A = this chain, B = another copy of it.
Amino acid sequence: MRAWNVTGTTIESLQPVEVPEPAPGPAEVLVRIAAAALNYRDLAVLRGTYGSRTGAPYVPLSDGAGTVGTVGSAVRRVRPGDRVVLNYARDWIAGEPTEEALRPRLGMPLDGTLQEAMVLPEHAVVPLPDALPLEDAAVLPVAGTAAWHALFDFGRLQPGEQVVVQGTGGVSMLALQLATAARARVLVTTRSAAKAALAREHGADTVVVAGGPSWDAAVLEWTAGKGADLLLDVVGGDLSASLRATRFGGRVALIGFLASAEARFDLRFAIQRRLDLRGVSVGPRSSLEALVRAVAALRLRPFVSRTFSFEEAPAAFRALASGEHSGKLLIRF
């Protein structure tokens, strides 16, 4: 079977290889990958800026979905032929995050999804309802569970509430689509008119083109001076505007750091307004299951801006590095 290996710290170091198909142990399943998706994390891992690494070569990518092939003798959760999506934090089933549960993740330190087949413990796959295509499911594990966790677990979003989402990246577009489907009202900040149109198309109640320093004033106007109930911050750096744009007792999900990883804000403001800032990342399998169910029930189609073939994997990485895309980048096998 074919796979891609990262052999260095550049996109050029991606190498196609031919490897033998693995065989599942008693409690394991073989999954034939049908589609995989990219996240900024994949680029950071490749470039070696993601913290501790295992040595190259390794198979990259954290997101993927496919069809169950052979299964081990003790497997009960799925059968050959079942369509499944893979749980990125492989062994995190449910409950609070722990270091132990979050260590084994696809795409680093475990091998990732950019290979035609892979073996996983049966507990690491989530069966898909008929209504959910494999290509849609493939983009959900990393960005989708982060958006879900920010909106519905941390955010406890209720219909009619007002949410601010920054930008049109992978997490942001899924958050926009999910929050809109759940009948919250969403304001999207963005830097380009094209992306503003895209956000509107996907349900944004209001879009603020964030060229100036005062997008928070626009949020206050949108909320009658009160501030948003929930804000998803993917920009990082100076959080002052994000905090000003959030209501008394409101919630700020800290998700990204496109501008800077060094957060800064005025403690007096956060204390006076009783703000809640939470570091948000992927969730456990139970979140992925809830998300899969919701996406299917809502007939929601996650926004994919570009699709690549398996052979075009390096081009997909280059598109990711350019930062020009909105939503997700998909690789169809």
CA distance A271 to B283 in the complex (A): 12
Distance (Å) between the CB of A189 and the closest chain B CB?
18
Q: Is the CB of B94 within 8 A of A93?
A: yes
Does any Cβ of B come within 8 Å of A274's Cβ?
yes
Q: Are B263 and A297 in contact (CB under 8 A)?
A: no
Query: What are the residues of chain B within 8 A of A275 when measuring CB–CB?
Result: 278-279
Q: Which residues of the other chain, B, contact A98 by a CB distance below 8 angstroms?
A: 94, 248-249
Q: Are A274 and B279 in contact (CB under 8 A)?
A: yes
CB distance from A20 to the nearest CB of B (A): 21
Residues from chain B with Cβ under 8 Å of A185 in the complex: 297
Task: Classify the interface of chain A: helix, strand, loop or mixed.
Answer: mixed
A257-B268, A267-B236 known; A248-B102 Cβ under 8 A: yes
Contacts of A281 in B (CB 8 A): 271-272, 274
Q: Which residues of B contact A100 (CB under 8 A)?
A: 77
Return A160 CB to nearest CB of chain B, in Å.
Answer: 3
Tell me whether A290 is interfacial, beta carbon within 8 Å.
yes
Q: For A209, list chain B residues within 8 Å (CB).
A: none
**Whole-angstrom distance between the alpha carbons of A147 and B278 in the complex?**
20
In the complex, which of the residues B160, B262, B272, B277 contacts A266, with contact meaning CB atoms closer than 8 Å? B262
Closest to A297 in B: B160
Q: Which residues in B have their C-beta under 8 angstroms from that of A255?
A: 271
The reply to whether the CB of A110 lies closer than 8 angstroms to some CB of chain B is no
Q: Which residues of B contact A264 (CB under 8 A)?
A: 262-264
Distance, CA A290 to CA B160, complexed state (A): 8
Least Cβ–Cβ distance between A288 and chain B, in angstroms? 12
A193 within 8 A of B: no
**In the complex, are the beta carbons of B298 and A160 less than 8 A apart?**
yes
A315 in the interface (beta carbon within 8 A) = no
Question: For residue A272, which residues in chain B have a CB less than 8 angstroms away from its CB?
Answer: 51, 279, 281
Q: Is A156 an interface residue (CB 8 A)?
A: yes
Q: Does A183 contact B (CB under 8 A)?
A: yes
In the complex, chain B residues whose CB is within 8 Å of the CB of A170: none
Cβ contacts A92-109/B at 8 Å (1 or 0 each): 011111111110000000
Nearest chain B CB to A212's CB is how many angstroms away?
A: 23
Cα–Cα distance between A267 and B183 once the two chains are bound (Å): 30
Question: Chain B's nearest CB lies how many Å from the CB of A221?
Answer: 15
Inter-chain pairs besides A97-B274, A159-B298, A274-B278, 17 sampled, C-beta below 8 Å: A93-B93, A95-B95, A97-B248, A98-B248, A98-B249, A99-B248, A158-B182, A159-B181, A161-B290, A181-B183, A183-B297, A236-B267, A255-B271, A263-B264, A263-B270, A274-B281, A275-B279
20 A–B contact pairs at CB < 8 A?
A77-B100, A94-B96, A94-B101, A99-B248, A152-B159, A158-B182, A158-B294, A160-B294, A160-B295, A183-B183, A183-B297, A254-B270, A255-B271, A261-B266, A261-B267, A264-B264, A269-B279, A270-B277, A274-B281, A275-B279
